[in-house]
Amino acid sequence: MKILDEGNIPFARPGRHRRVLLADVLDYQEQRRSQRRRGLDELTEESGLYGN
């Protein structure tokens, strides 16, 4: 619910419950994966562990 309330995933509220589209959830998941990958790549590069 926090993710929805922060506006990260669009939703509709026709009644008491929130409705989200599967495509929006999958897009959000892919964005988060990409952010994590970039962060890990940056840490790996900064640490010099892999000879970069």
Tell me whether residue 40 is in a domain.
yes
Instruction: Report if residue 37 sits inside a domain.
Output: yes
The predicted pLDDT at position 51 comes to: 62
Q: Is residue 11 part of a domain?
A: no
What is the extent of the structural domain holding 46? Answer: 21-52
Contacts of 44 (CB under 8 A, 6+ apart): 50, 52
| Predicted pLDDT of residue 52 | 52
- For 1-31, the pLDDT digits (tens) are 999 999 999 999 999 999 999 999 999 999 9
- Rounded distance between C-alpha atoms, residue 21 and residue 8, angstroms: 13
In a domain, 51, yes or no: yes
**What gap in Å lies between CA 50 and CA 52, rounded to an integer?**
6
Residue 44 falls within a domain, yes or no?
A: yes
Residue 16 is assigned to a structural domain of this protein: no
Domain count, the chain: 1
Q: Of 8, 1, 11, 5, whose CA–CA distance to 35 is shortest?
A: 8
